[in-house]
Amino acid sequence: MTDAGAGARETPSGAGILWRAMPTLWRVAVAGIVAYRAEMVIWILSATLPLVMLALWDAASAAGPLAGFGQADFARYFTVTMVVRQLTGSWVVWELNYMVRSGSLSPQLLRPVNPLVYNFFETLAAIPWRMIVLVPLLAGLVVWRPDIVFAPEGWRVCVFLVSVALAFAVAWLVQAIFGMLAFWFEEAMGVFSVHFALWSFFSGYIVPMALLPGWISGVARWLPFYASLGVPVDVLIGRAGLPEVAAQAGWVVILALAGRIMWARGIRRYGAVGA
Amino acid sequence: MIIDVVGLSKTYRVPVKGEGLAGSVKSLFNRQYRDVEAVKNVSFQIERGERVGFLGPNGAGKTTTLKMLSGLLHPTAGTVLVAGYRPKDRVVAFLRSITLVMGQKQQLLWDLPPQESFALNRAMYGVDPAAYARTLDQLVAMLKIEPILQKPVRNLSLGERMKCELVAALLHQPQVLFLDEPTIGLDVEMQVQVRKFIHEYNTSTGATVILTSHYMQDIAALTPRLLVIDKGTLRYDGSLTALTERVAPERRIVVKGGPAELAELGFVPVDGDQVATVTAEETNRRLSSVLSRWPMVEIAVESPPLEEVMARYFHEGSA
Amino acid sequence: MPPAGGPEALSSGPGPRLPEVLSALARVALMNALQYRASFFVDFFVGSGNVVAILLPLAVVFGKTDSVAGWTWDQSLLVTGFFLMMSAVMGGLVEPNLGAVVEGIRQGQMDYILLKPVDAQLVASAQRVAPAKLWDGLSALVVIAWGLHGTGWPGFGPITAAFCLMIAGVMAMYSLWLLVICLSFWFVRVDNLRYLLGAVADAGRWPVDIYSGVARVFLTVVVPVALASSWPAMALLGRLDLALVVQAIAVSLGGFAFARWSWKRALASYTSASS
């Protein structure tokens, strides 16, 4: 997964330093989370948007299954979606946008590690803490809706894990790329919100891919939106397979390359404008 | 008397975090608190029109005191009266009679020209438009900022911005000025200008000025009266000269490029000069004995610099 | 420079006048917003995208079934319309201030607000606007009209009730927002709370009946977004009697009073960012 860091190859020693710094990064992330207990509660609560969607689909399928999705299927689908969304969450677009606009990127560029690579690892370090948040939530869900418990085949679980890692990389890379737009446009965040609206519709976040009209899902199935969230979910519940995972890997490569090129040009522009 | 402070105290409750990961996790479930006494039983009075400097090391409680005087923080104990009001009540008449300028924070609207911030403050303080125009003209003339009034604040230099902050803070003609590090980060030239302005403003309007600063020159040049706060308590209240006399009464006699024979009179060579440190009473006798033997030398008598006085004073306190 | 008539004369003068303060605040807020012309158009674009992103899933659901929890497509459009209206007001007038206050507490501008002889809640709530969000209000009207075209136009009574409920709902949401601000006096990092509030408020875009008991009460009383979206729609459809409308308005007034009380308390324990 190291090759996903958009600028990793630019500062070859950066990633190495970071691997060794992982324990420290880890501790910083822990201390950061612990210092703000109230925020932890907030994380738990804001992880529940898929449940809002579940309520809608639940009500819609009360009279009978829709396109093969019954109430239990929807419950499973959105529970897994919630988990994957937590595991693949990142914040690099906000951070990068802020750093570019405020000029605080400049001191970061003087460090031996590429700031983007640093963020990538920081994001990784936060994942176990997100899981802490998820466990009680999942336990509560199982009590509330026992029908969400299901046993996928072993190979699906393995592919699921790979697919989550790829989804993490795609999601992070897409955010990094939108963040880099800040080098050129003041309103990169506005563009990102437009992207988010599209993303929530085509990623499976609010509508399962199988329920989109045929021709739309035929296209959306191969787009990065889906690669960043829906693929692992559908893999686990048996509605996607290896071709979709291969597409995810393809997107990681394409986005990493695009990110590298953008980063190089962006930094040049940043230097020229003088921030 | 415009400010009357009796037994003022402020205690903060801060979380204590243990060392390392284990400490972090422990504090997640069982957070320990510690009371920090930022200001302890401080009392003083300030007369109308005085210029007073708050001096003390970082974290001594200067800013906390200033914020209690301006009503931003509520005291834990003690009473404060400023211009006859209790600051923490934040009544309109009180707020209109004071101002607070913080060198490290800004009230100007970042993306707009300073004039817009001034106009907003005019409305918020309910200043009569004619009086506003007059005050603004005078302040702009005193600070010479006419050319920058149309520029967005984000494009101003630090010094220009501080001058505009002062204007924004003074448009309602407050009786009491609280200045927290007003010259911080400014270059020497700009520091001198700001100092000169504050002095002028005080003498021409009779407003009371209370100032904290890290720069000893601010204190030396601006405030005849000094309040030294150290670890939350008031350690000294009086004039700067009296403090210097008490803490560092000695003088340094420097003979520029003086002859080595001066050693006989107790001089030691420092960077090619001959220097002797003597008590104030001793100074004249020593001078005449030097001049009687070497009448042509260049000679200077110095008091220890304020920085050194303060360093010695705080050392004295902790020893 | 003599202070005209001595300092006492000034502080006993007329004092700040509310209309003058309000117009000065509005002027500055607008100027601030128009600084970034690009943002104005991007926001418009984002707003239109939002409308589509909200309507699309609804269209997908109603493509599969005719009725969800007793609501038809046309009736659901009314809910969506009122939801958009609330989002427009919150996003245009309220939320930009949330950001500004949280930032102000962190960086110290809050000190300067507290030093002004004007009610701090008023200044804190009126320093920013996002005029482009008001476009959302326009699309909200279109969506409501679209819904009413299907359900049939109601009489004067239901329209008045819906209008009052909408105001009450927005006021309740504002009160909640103010409570979040109060929290930020103690926990300086509440950015995530904004995100959470937005995420939970998103649940208001669907008819509140799709949620099960607890969630429904939650969305009506705790995060009263349903009060601003579903309830006005129910009023238009004649599903509420007058007593309920009056109760809802009383509750939101109570919420406002509580929020104001909390704000006063928060100010008393304000510690002011140390410099």
Supply the ipTM of this predicted assembly.
0.78
Q: Does C121 touch chain B (CB under 8 A)?
A: no
Residues of A in contact with C43 (CB under 8 A): 190
B261 and B240, same structural domain? no
Q: How far apart are CA C224 and CA C56, in angstroms?
A: 24
CB B24 to CB A34 under 8 A? yes
Structural domain of residue B206, as residue ranges? 3-8+43-245
Could you count the other beta carbons within 10 Å of the beta carbon of residue A16? 13
Instruction: Give bridge partners of residue C68 from the DSSP assignment.
Output: C71
A110 to chain B, closest Cα gap in Å: 23
In this prediction, residues C40-63 reach a mean pLDDT of: 80
Flag whether B64 is in a domain.
yes
Using only the alpha carbons of chain B, give its radius of gyration: 24
Flag whether C273 is in a domain.
no
Question: In this complex, which of C42, C53, C215 lies closest to A201 when CB atoms are compared?
Answer: C53
Flag whether B282 is in a domain.
yes
Q: How far apart are CA B267 and CA B285, in angstroms?
A: 14
Question: In this complex, which of B125, B138, B173 lies closest to C117 when CB atoms are compared?
Answer: B125
Least confident of B79-83, B191-195, C190-194, C250-254: C190-194
Q: Does A59 touch chain B (CB under 8 A)?
A: no
For the record, the structure tokens of A57 come out as: 């689909």
Q: Which of A50, A35, A113, A140 is nearest to A86 (CA)?
A: A50
Q: Which of A103, A129, A120 is nearest to A32 (CA)?
A: A129
Q: Enumerate the domain spans of chain A.
A: 2-273
Q: Does A34 touch chain B (CB under 8 A)?
A: yes
Inter-chain contacts counted by CB atoms under 8 A, chains A and B = 18
Given a cut of 90, is residue B42 above it in pLDDT?
A: yes
B205 and B187, same structural domain? yes
CATH code for position B223: 3.40.50.300
pLDDT at residue number B316:
75
Q: Which of B273, B275, B296, B271 is nearest to B286 (CA)?
A: B275
B287 and B173, same structural domain? no
Taking each continuous run of H as one helix and of E as one strand, the counts in chain A are: 13, 0
B137 and B201, same structural domain? yes
Flag whether B29 is in a domain.
no
B106-165 pLDDT, tens digit per residue, is 889 888 899 999 999 999 998 999 999 999 999 999 999 999 999 989 889 999 999 999
A33 to chain B, closest Cα gap in Å: 9
B132 and B115, same structural domain? yes
Packing angle between helix A12-35 and helix B20-29, nearest 10 degrees? Answer: 30
Question: In this complex, which of C45, C49, C60 lies closest to A211 when CB atoms are compared?
Answer: C60
Flag whether C274 is in a domain.
no
A206-225 pLDDT, tens digit per residue, is 889 988 888 888 999 999 99
Q: Tell the residue number behind the tokens 């992982």, with chain if given.
A: A22
Number of domains in chain B: 2
DSSP state of A3: G
Mean pLDDT across chain B = 87
C189 to chain B, closest Cα gap in Å: 16
Residues of C in contact with B104 (CB under 8 A): 108, 275
Q: Tell the residue number behind the tokens 């911005």, with chain if given.
A: B161
C106-150 pLDDT, tens digit per residue, is 777 888 999 999 998 999 888 888 887 777 888 899 999 999 999
A267 to chain B, closest Cα gap in Å: 23
- Residue type, position B18, single letter: G
Report which of residues A26 and B281 the model is more confident about.
Answer: B281
Flag whether B317 is in a domain.
no
What Å distances lie between residue B27 and A1, A33, B23, C265, CA to CA? 34, 11, 6, 26
Contacts of C90 by beta carbon, 8 Å cutoff, 6+ apart: C170, C173, C174, C177, C201
Flag whether C3 is in a domain.
no
pLDDT at residue number B317:
66
Q: Are A179 and A191 in contact (CB under 8 A)?
A: no
For the record, the structure tokens of C150 come out as: 């299907």
Q: How far apart are CA B305 and CA A90, in angstroms?
A: 55
Terminal alpha carbon distance of chain B: 36
pLDDT at residue number C11:
45
What Å distances lie between residue A234 and A71, A100, A148, C40, CA to CA? 16, 37, 15, 39
Flag whether B27 is in a domain.
no
CB C4 to CB B134 under 8 A? yes
Shortest CA distance from C203: residue in chain A: A52
Q: Does C212 touch chain B (CB under 8 A)?
A: no
Shortest CA distance from C35: residue in chain A: A186
pLDDT at residue number A10:
46
To test the contact with chain C by mutation, choose from B2, B90, B99, B120 the residue with the greatest count of C C-beta atoms within 10 A, namely: B120
To test the contact with chain C by mutation, choose from B48, B125, B165, B214 the residue with the greatest count of C C-beta atoms within 10 A, namely: B125
Q: Are A76 and A148 in contact (CB under 8 A)?
A: yes
What Å distances lie between residue C110 and A208, B319, C27, C65, C157, CA to CA? 45, 40, 20, 52, 44
Residues of C in contact with B36 (CB under 8 A): none
CB A187 to CB C200 under 8 A? no
* pLDDT band, very low/low/confident/very high, at C163 (cuts 50, 70, 90): very high
Q: Which of C274, A154, C264, C171 is nearest to B38 (CA)?
A: C274
B259 and B165, same structural domain? no
In this prediction, residues A127-139 reach a mean pLDDT of: 82
b/e code B190-206 from CB counts within 10 Å (16+ = b): bbebbbebbeebbeebe
For the record, the structure tokens of B60 come out as: 């001594």
B225 and B78, same structural domain? yes
Contacts of B189 by beta carbon, 8 Å cutoff, 6+ apart: none
CB C275 to CB B135 under 8 A? no
Mean pLDDT across chain C = 84
Question: In this complex, which of C36, C38, C211 lies closest to A55 when CB atoms are compared?
Answer: C211
Flag whether C157 is in a domain.
yes
- Sign, CA dihedral C145-C150-C151-C155, equals positive
pLDDT at residue number A118:
78
To test the contact with chain C by mutation, choose from B2, B33, B72, B199 the residue with the greatest count of C C-beta atoms within 10 A, namely: B72
B282 and B136, same structural domain? no
**Which of A90-99, B74-83, B281-290 reaches the highest mean pLDDT?**
B74-83
B179 to chain A, closest Cα gap in Å: 28
What Å distances lie between residue C112 and B117, B143, B163, C121, CA to CA? 12, 22, 16, 13
B281 and B185, same structural domain? no
Please spell the DSSP secondary structure of chain B, one letter per residue: --EEEEEEEEEEEEEE--SHHHHHHHHHHS-EEEEEEEEEEEEEEE-TT-EEEEE-STTSSHHHHHHHHTTSS--SEEEEEETTB-GGG--HHHHHHEEEEETT---S-TTS-HHHHHHHHHHHHT--HHHHHHHHHHHHHHHT-GGGTTS-GGGS-HHHHHHHHHHHHHTT--SEEEEESTTTT--HHHHHHHHHHHHHHHHHH--EEEEE-S-HHHHHHH-SEEEEEETTEEEEEEEHHHHHHHH---EEEEEET--GGGGGGT-EEETTEEEEEE-HHHHHHHHHHHHHH-TT-EEEEEPPPHHHHHHHHHHHHH-
Number of domains in chain C: 1
A207 to chain B, closest Cα gap in Å: 37
B203 and B88, same structural domain? yes
Structural domain of residue C258, as residue ranges? 17-268
In this prediction, residues C208-214 reach a mean pLDDT of: 86
Flag whether B22 is in a domain.
no
Question: In this complex, which of C43, C193, C210 lies closest to A55 when CB atoms are compared?
Answer: C210
